[in-house]
């Protein structure tokens, strides 16, 4: 059996390059939100309110339930707390 290597875990588990790219970006945005919550010092209830979520929904995000969040939703959450999301497009390796 030939050993296969991947550029990222998303490339290994997703069926298409597009799906892998979407998961990669969503993961990055979720990490940014997690860092915001940690740095804010707010309770989950307070942080959720600032992000426009309920506390259980924020808990899903903090637990990494990536399939429950779209790119649009994650960008909107970050915008609500004064974060700007920039997109950089580059040629694939």
CA torsion through residues 68, 71, 73, 77, sign = positive
Q: What's this model's pTM, rounded to 2 decimal places?
A: 0.86
CATH homologous superfamily for 9-80? lambda repressor-like DNA-binding domains (1.10.260.40)
Dihedral-angle region of residue 82 (phi above 0 means left; psi in -120 to 50 means alpha; beta otherwise): left
Q: What is the pLDDT of residue 11?
A: 65
Eight-class DSSP state of 63: T
pLDDT at 14 over 80: no
What is the tens place of the pLDDT at every residue in 34-90? Answer: 999 999 999 999 999 999 999 999 999 999 999 999 999 999 999 999 999 998 888
Q: How far apart are CA 93 and CA 83, in angstroms?
A: 29
């Amino acid at each position: 059996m030939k050993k296969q290597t991947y550029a990222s875990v998303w490339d290994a588990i997703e069926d298409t390059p597009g799906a892998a790219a979407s998961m990669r970006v969503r993961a990055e945005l979720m990490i940014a939100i997690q860092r915001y919550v940690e740095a804010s010092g707010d309770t989950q209830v307070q942080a959720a309110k600032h992000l426009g979520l309920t506390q259980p929904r924020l808990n899903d995000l903090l637990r990494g339930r990536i399939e429950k969040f779209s790119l649009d939703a994650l960008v909107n959450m970050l915008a609500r707390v004064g974060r700007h999301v920039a997109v950089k497009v580059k040629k694939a390796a």
